[in-house]
Structure 1
Amino acid sequence: MVTPLIMADGDSKSLSLVPFLLLILITAPAVTGDSLDSDSQVLLSFKSYLESWNPTERGKYNEWETEKKDVCQWPGITCTPEGSRVTGISLTDSTISGHLFRNFSALTQLTFLDLSSNTIGGSIPDDLNRCHNLKYLNLSHNIIGGELSLSGLSNLEVLDLSVNQIAGEVHSTFPTLCNSLVVANLSNNNFSGRIDDIFNECRYLKYVDLKYNRFSGEIWAGFRRLVKFSVSGNRLSGNISASMFRGNCTLQVLDLCGNGFVGEFPGQVSNCHNLNVLDLWGNNFTGNIPAEIGSISSLRGLHLGKNEFSRDIPETLLNLSNLVFLGLSRNNFGGDVQGIFGRFTQVKYLVLYGNSYVGGIHSSNILTLPNLSRLDLSYNNFSGLLPSKISQMQSLTFLILAYNNFSGDIPREYGNMPRLQALDLSSNRLTGSIPASFGKLTSLLWLMLANNSLSGEIPREIGNCSSLLWFNVANNQLSGGLYPEFTNMGSNPTPTFEVNRQKRDYIIAGSGECLVMKRWIPAEFPPFIFGLETLTKRSCRSLWDHVREGKCIFPVCPPGSTVGPLDISGYLQLSGNKLSGEVPANISQMKKLSMLHLGLNEFEGKLPIEIGLLPLVFLNLTRNKFSGQIPQEIGNLSSLQNLDLSYNNFSGNFPTSLNDLSEMSKFNISYNPFISGVVPYRGQLATFEKDSFLGNPLLQLPSFFNQSGNNNTSSGERDNGREEEDDDGASIDMLVFYWSTFSFYVVALMGILVLVYFDCPWCRAWLRLVEAFTVSLKIMLS
């Protein structure tokens, strides 16, 4: 449906005019010329086109007016130095939707066009191919589809089409686009085909990013003359030969991860003297890690995980004095952690998860590394007590020991690491209590202790963790209550986020963020399902930086709001324990809490009405002992998508305010036998199956549960859900309805018999009337 155009005086044009106006904008003869006036006319036409697609939310182009300012002073417009012609348009992040404008070529001096970070769809029009003077084109972060054909842009120097939906091969554009091209970013699309020869004629090319597409075949052999070459997440295969590194190599970043390369990786990579990042993760490389890598003094990031390298680590790698990140996860090393890792004193990030190690944490001396910021030993076979010596690593910010066989108590010394932002000890065999010393971890963002055998109370000191937004202790044996002190948790994470923004290091990317995010962000629960969708789009590297820097990425809306702006979204996951007592009223202070899972515990008492003040998207209280009235205030949680109140002792009238939760997709109030009242037969609650209301004998359900189809009930549970105040009148009305329907069909049958014998035109019209009545009758009865 086309949205009506909004006029300046507030009146809206007829809907019938809009397609006509769009047709004029798209098919009208191009406005061309060689003057600033003609350029302004093109821009005003462009503005009208954008407004037709975006009748409400509009960007800075909405300020384009000839009466107020000179064209060259319009927001997002640049001109020649003397102000005679328009040369640039920059409307990045301007809430633009719809298809691309089809008359940019009329701006004959246009050299710069940036429409990135919008929601532009459709395909790239042929008109753009006629912008022969264009040097900079950025259409990244849109939803553009179709295939690529830009062979006419022979003067282009920068091309950025990343994060779109463009498909097909690129041979029709390359190498004809290569005269002046310096930057080619086609990442995060659906491109396919071969790339082994498309850049041969690109003499000035320096930066190529093709990651996360569907390119196949062998690699382009000329990549050594670039500065950056990334093909991660494709379907490339074959060997990386020594000849690819012969001669002058200017590479600073070589990213081959997530493909199907095989064989030994050549030591001639050492010819790339300026290499900063070498990423070979996720291939099938075999043999020894090349000792020659140790001569690349500039190397800062070395990603060798998920291959089949030998467990012998070359001593020469210790010469890499600038090495920040060392990743050797998932190489099936086994045995004890190699002793050489304890000698990488310069390394800040050591990632060794998924190697089936059984020991060597102490003997390798990795716990004495003075600069270590991240240590990931998850998914191994370590056993015994957790090493308390880790607490002496004062620079540690991320400690990940999940999915091992550690047992015994959590050392209270772990509370003495002031910089710690993430502690993941989940899925081990830990017993004992959560140390009260954790209350000193004021920089902690994540505390993951799920799937152990921890007991005792959650210490009240946890409330002192002012940055703790994400707390998961599910499936333990914890007891005690949800004390009021807990509600201070995560009250001020800003200082931690600020530290991460100031110390951002692009070298970190590729160090297992996708794996930990799937554990730390419960993507199966809203609103975090958004995170899962993003991960499946293969962009978790940038998402990881957004999360740790506190940028708003999850759709959360405050109570009473009908929109879901992106915000920081916290969770409290306490399910599967023995927690008891009442939920404190001051839980409303947890202003960033969007997921609250208290299921499978022993909580009791009334649910405080203050819960309606939280920006909840997920609320699960199943299998507890809650009683009293379900707060009407839950109906204020406009963004609530998942609500489970089943298996409790709630009583009183069913709150009809729940019918206002238009975003709710999962709902369960089963087995609360003391709830009474009427469930509305229209609205959001009418969209759920009978399974959402089982075991509530006093609750009157809508009549559609008694009909055959999606909502089936037994004959003993016939409808009592409609309003009963006019039962007698309703019975009379239904009697009249049934008698009228019977009479209509008797007459209809007579008409059909006449049609069979006489085939008259009016009889056919009568038959069509019968068909229409039958359809209407089905709709009324449903």
Structure 2
Amino acid sequence: MLNLLLQIFFLVILQSRGSASAHCNFYDIEDNTITIKCSKVEKEALLSVREELIDHFGVLSSWGAGDCCKWQGVRCDNTTGHVIELDVSGISVSDFGGPKGKLSSSLVRFQYLNHLDLSLNNFHQEIPGVIGSLRKLEYLNLSYSKWERASISPDFRKLTKLQVLDLESSDITLENLDLLSHLYSIRYLNLNSVNLSTANDWWVQTISKLPLLEELHLSNCTLPSILVPSSLNTSNYSRYLSVVDLSSNINLLPSSIYPWLFNFSGSLTHIDLSHNNLPTSLPLEFGNMVRLSHLFMDSSRLVGEIPRSLGNLSNLVELKLAYNSLTGSIFTLMKDFSKNSGKSLRYLDMAVNCFTGPLVMQGFPSLKKLTLQWNQLDQLLLEGVFPNLQELDLTGNRLSGSVPDQLASHFPSLRYLSLESNEFNGTLPESISNISKLEYFFIGSNHLEGVITESHMLGLSALREIILSFNKNLAIKFSLTWIPPFQLDVISLCEVKQGPHFPKWLQNQHNFSVLDISNSGIVDKIPVWFWDLSSSLKELNLSNNKIHGVLPDISPFKFAVLDFSSNNLSGPLPILPPDVLTLDFSRNRFQGTTSVLCETNSLTYLDLSNNLLSGNLPNCSDGFSTLNVLILGNNNFSGSIPESFGSIVDIRILNIRDNILDGEIPGSLKNWKNVQVCDLGGNKLSGKLPEWIGMEWKGLIFLSLGFNTFSGKIPSSFCDLGNIKILDISRNKISGTVPKCFNKLDEMTTDTNFASTITSSYPYTSGGMSKVYILSASIMWKGIQSKFRNILGLVRCIDLSSNNLSGRIPLEITTLKGLIGLNLSRNYLSGTIPPNISLLSSLDFLDLSSNSISGIIPFSLSQLDSLGYLDLSYNNLSGKIPTSTSNKLQTFNASSYIGNSGLCGSPLPNGCPGDVIPGVPLFDHQDIAQDELFTSGFYASLAFGFVIGFGGICGSLLLNKSWRNVYFKFLSEMYDKLYVTLAVKKAQLLRCCLN
């Protein structure tokens, strides 16, 4: 009874206090307890807030009837009933397609509010100044919110009780940070991704005026470099600052940011300077930060050795220095860390640096993760026990020798072990089976040999992923009845021998999503049971085996990647999964049409080249609209290129060469804004070369239209293909002249170093991963159809051979100093060889044969030291073949010059007038005059016979070009044959004499 009277008395006091305010609270008394409800005024204010917000997901559906203190996102004071917390985050989400919400001005009624969360919303208004009137606010979160005008009202400086302010990624503009300096109670300040590029030194001065600040987050703020003023009173700095995140601010200078940080040496526990531009070594002063537990400086361009003083940090828990250029001995570094930091260190990441020497593992009892991949470590020595180590990544070093036999005893808790891309040899120890907790085991790309049996796997019941690929001398031999103790998710065994039969041990794996047993020596059919195994299989690679048979309907699967290339599969294409992204069935014996492809809707990569497919090209715009790479070459496709191909707007690589396609190139292909490679060679395509190719395909690198029947002139717009590296229009019916504007082909005008490969990335899996496609291309090179891949990026080539081009070789073409190959053969070109041809300083292959080029061979041609192939045959060249100090032009065979009746000099057998032949005396004209045979009648008869012969035969050859070419070609060929025969006989005779 006394307790009830006390509650009633307390209620009277509250009601009398409430009568003096605008807020009238409601109370219920049941079972001797008082239930406090929110006031009518605040309830109406909440309803006003709900009315103007756009609640896309119905989060505020509870806002209506009943006590508003029980509504979602609302919390009231247990004593007064006033609303003290309001959370409407994620109501009007910023990436939702619907309308934007607004924040009601009724917010001003919540004068007792201390917690306000407006994050993850998209508001159709500026930031309400009314927020500045909520004087009791301690927590304000506007992160990831979007506003029409994102500037903060000066009234925000009145929030003097604010302890937490989160503006991360909110599109808010803070031109003057001075208003933040009035928030004296701030303990947590997050301005990540807020543009502070105009802040100058204000941010330093602002922080100096926040005496209680504990956490400062200024990541990705485009902070300007600072010069800490000497007059700045550092005694005002917070003594509580423990967390500083300045990552991804590349303008910060090490000369200023380091001294500023060291002002907080006694309090800082977390420092994040990752992804900055700090090309210096780590300062020694970091070793004086006795409380430092987390130091992140990955991707900051650090150089030099890590100071040994860093090993003095006895509280260091996590150190991330990956992706820098740090050097030094890993042995010395680990030894220093083991003295003091070794006791506390749990996470050590120093991947992608330049550390050298042996890695000696000892003295880190707390270490959970050690990442040292892609350094230059050469040896792994185990001397201690790491009871808590769960992840060890030594990928991409130079570790050699055998895989340590006692891994299990040194790492009893190991779950992740990667020794990929090293130089380990020998056999894999069976003791690997004793690492009972191992889930991820990666040891691909080494030099392991021998056989893996059940003994290696018996204890690995927790194993989920295994990568043994690219150990060419490694084999797997499990008994046919063996049942593995594990269920794998990822199985990567490329180049690990398992054949000739399909691996039967897979019959007991039911959960794998990735299987790669390519190039495994399998000569078998895919067994029926395989297709009933794993419904979660997404990536399947069986390429480079000798698998035969016909594929079943695989549409029920959820494949993202299918690679059956380089096998002996036959029959029609199977019905495919609708969501497959990557499909490679190349180099098989598939037959029939490709209509099944239209059932797919997500393809990004399709390669069906080198099969026996026929019929029309697939005409399915919906199924192909997502393609980046389309390769259908070396089949029997006929008909025309479908107009629907124009809808493949993201295509980068197209190769449908060596089919029997006809018709013109459809105009819809002008929609291809990102195409890099177009290979239509080896078909029966006709019509004029489209003008729009040069106007729309600005990123084109490789264009092959050779071996078709195109006619007309080369469009001038082709000169606008500034990125073109290889242009092949050979073996068509192209007329007109060689364009002078080829000097605008920018990629060919530079002789700087090139990347050896040409690559293009495309979406590879449904998980968002991309894969790099290395382009290969077939080019007529030095008279032979050659395929380039790994060095294709080094080739710069123009091939206009076997057309009807006429006119002169333009002088402008000599500006292409990066040109490697030039083939203008078998045309009707006339005029002379450009005298400054030596400007083509990179030229390796030059073919001007079978034209009507006249004049002399310019001396500058002999100065092309890089020239490896030359053919000037069957022209009208004359004069002496130039010689130089290197005798470059004399290194080519005589066949490079035949068919030019006026040419003389080495390597041709006929000498030039005035040449002195060693061992042959000059004629004495006096002796000839004394010979009675040479009378005046003799000379008259000789002259008359010459006139008759010339008029009857030689004159006809001069007047008829085709006769002349045939005649001289016949004589040259006969001479070459006679010359070679005599040379062979002479060599045989000499050998006989010497023997």
TM-score range with shorter-chain normalisation?
A: 0.5 to 0.7
**Equivalent position of 1:350 in the other structure:** 562
Deviations 1:54-102, CA, capped at 9 Å, x for gaps: xxxxx979944369954758954694795888986847484x9xxx846
TM-score, normalised to structure 2's length? 0.49
- 1:281-360 map, 5 Å: 281-286=494-499, 287=501, 289-290=503-504, 296-297=510-511, 299-307=512-520, 308=522, 311-313=525-527, 315=529, 318=532, 320-337=534-551, 339=552, 341-342=553-554, 344-360=556-572
**Equivalent position of 1:254 in the other structure:** 466
Higher helix fraction (1 or 2): 1
**Equivalent position of 2:853 in the other structure:** 674
Q: Which amino acid aligns with 2:255?
A: E
The answer (yes or no) to whether the contact 2:845–2:870 under 8 Å persists in 1 is no
Q: Larger Cα Rg: Structure 1 or Structure 2? A: 2
Task: Tell me the CA shift for residue 351 of structure 1.
Answer: 2.5
**Equivalent position of 1:437 in the other structure:** 644
The answer (yes or no) to whether the contact 2:862–2:888 under 8 Å persists in 1 is no
Structure 1 residue aligned with 2:418, among 195, 209, 222?
209
Deviations 1:415-439, CA, capped at 9 Å, x for gaps: 8632233322212233333333322
Distance in 1 between the 2:816 and 2:492 partners?
45
Distance in 2 between the 1:443 and 1:674 partners?
44
- 1:581-730 map, 5 Å: 581-614=712-745, 615-616=747-748, 618-625=796-803, 626-637=805-816, 639-652=818-831, 654-655=833-834, 659-660=838-839, 664=842, 666-671=844-849, 673-674=852-853, 679=858, 681=860, 685-688=864-867, 691=870, 697=877, 703-704=883-884, 707=887, 711=891, 716-717=904-905
The answer (yes or no) to whether the contact 1:690–1:711 under 8 Å persists in 2 is no
Which structure has more relative contact order (CA 8 Å, sep 6+)? It is 1
Task: Tell me the CA shift for residue 104 of structure 1.
Answer: 4.1
Aligned partner of residue 668 in structure 2, secondary structure? helix
The answer (yes or no) to whether the contact 1:207–1:229 under 8 Å persists in 2 is yes
**Equivalent position of 1:65 in the other structure:** 255
Q: Which amino acid aligns with 1:225?
A: K
Aligned-CA RMSD value: 4.5
Task: Tell me the CA shift for residue 704 of structure 1.
Answer: 0.9
Distance in 2 between the 1:261 and 1:712 partners?
50
Distance in 2 between the 1:344 and 1:84 partners?
58
The answer (yes or no) to whether the contact 1:670–1:692 under 8 Å persists in 2 is yes
The answer (yes or no) to whether the contact 1:182–1:204 under 8 Å persists in 2 is yes
The answer for unaligned runs of 5 or more in structure 1 is: 1-58, 492-567, 720-782
The answer (yes or no) to whether the contact 1:182–1:206 under 8 Å persists in 2 is yes
Task: Tell me the CA shift for residue 648 of structure 1.
Answer: 4.2
Task: Tell me the CA shift for residue 389 of structure 1.
Answer: 3.1
Task: Tell me the CA shift for residue 484 of structure 1.
Answer: 0.7
Is 2:437 aligned against 1:225? yes
- 1:360-399 map, 5 Å: 360-361=572-573, 366-367=574-575, 369-383=577-591, 385-399=592-606
The answer (yes or no) to whether the contact 2:862–2:882 under 8 Å persists in 1 is no
The answer (yes or no) to whether the contact 1:679–1:700 under 8 Å persists in 2 is no
Distance in 2 between the 1:239 and 1:399 partners?
36
Aligned in 2, Cα 1:351/1:191: closer, same or farther, shift over 3 Å? same
Aligned partner of residue 463 in structure 1, secondary structure? helix
Aligned in 2, Cα 1:302/1:67: closer, same or farther, shift over 3 Å? closer
Structure 1 residue aligned with 2:633, among 398, 405, 426?
426
Task: Tell me the CA shift for residue 276 of structure 1.
Answer: 2.9
| Sequence identity (%) | 21
Task: Tell me the CA shift for residue 673 of structure 1.
Answer: 4.6
Aligned partner of residue 216 in structure 1, secondary structure? strand
- 1:102-501 map, 5 Å: 104-105=307-308, 107-109=310-312, 112=319, 114=321, 116=323, 128=333, 130-132=335-337, 133=341, 136=348, 138=350, 140=352, 148-151=357-360, 154-155=363-364, 160=371, 162-163=373-374, 170-171=379-380, 173-174=381-382, 182-189=390-397, 191-195=399-403, 197=405, 199-200=407-408, 201-220=410-429, 221-222=432-433, 225-246=437-458, 249-259=461-471, 260-264=474-478, 271-273=485-487, 275-286=488-499, 287=501, 289-290=503-504, 296-297=510-511, 299-307=512-520, 308=522, 311-313=525-527, 315=529, 318=532, 320-337=534-551, 339=552, 341-342=553-554, 344-361=556-573, 366-367=574-575, 369-383=577-591, 385-413=592-620, 417-487=624-694, 490-491=697-698
Distance in 1 between the 2:700 and 2:392 partners?
35
Q: Which amino acid aligns with 2:424?
A: F
Deviations 1:189-218, CA, capped at 9 Å, x for gaps: 554432152633123443333334443333
Task: Tell me the CA shift for residue 300 of structure 1.
Answer: 1.9
The answer (yes or no) to whether the contact 2:862–2:884 under 8 Å persists in 1 is no
Task: Tell me the CA shift for residue 695 of structure 1.
Answer: 6.0
Aligned partner of residue 645 in structure 2, secondary structure? helix
**Equivalent position of 1:526 in the other structure:** none
Aligned partner of residue 630 in structure 2, secondary structure? strand
The answer (yes or no) to whether the contact 2:484–2:505 under 8 Å persists in 1 is no
Task: Tell me the CA shift for residue 395 of structure 1.
Answer: 3.0
Aligned partner of residue 864 in structure 2, secondary structure? helix
Is 2:785 aligned against 1:577? no
Aligned in 2, Cα 1:443/1:267: closer, same or farther, shift over 3 Å? farther
Aligned partner of residue 593 in structure 1, secondary structure? coil
The answer (yes or no) to whether the contact 2:670–2:692 under 8 Å persists in 1 is yes
Task: Tell me the CA shift for residue 483 of structure 1.
Answer: 1.3
Aligned partner of residue 427 in structure 1, secondary structure? coil
The answer for unaligned runs of 5 or more in structure 2 is: 1-248, 263-272, 749-794, 895-902, 908-995
Deviations 1:439-491, CA, capped at 9 Å, x for gaps: 23223222211222333333333323333322112333333332112335545
Aligned in 2, Cα 1:569/1:282: closer, same or farther, shift over 3 Å? farther
Deviations 1:382-415, CA, capped at 9 Å, x for gaps: 23x3232322322333332211122343344478
Deviations 1:232-278, CA, capped at 9 Å, x for gaps: 233334444445444564434211223322323788786445x4311
Q: Which amino acid aligns with 1:65?
A: S
Distance in 2 between the 1:107 and 1:464 partners?
58
Distance in 1 between the 2:716 and 2:436 partners?
63
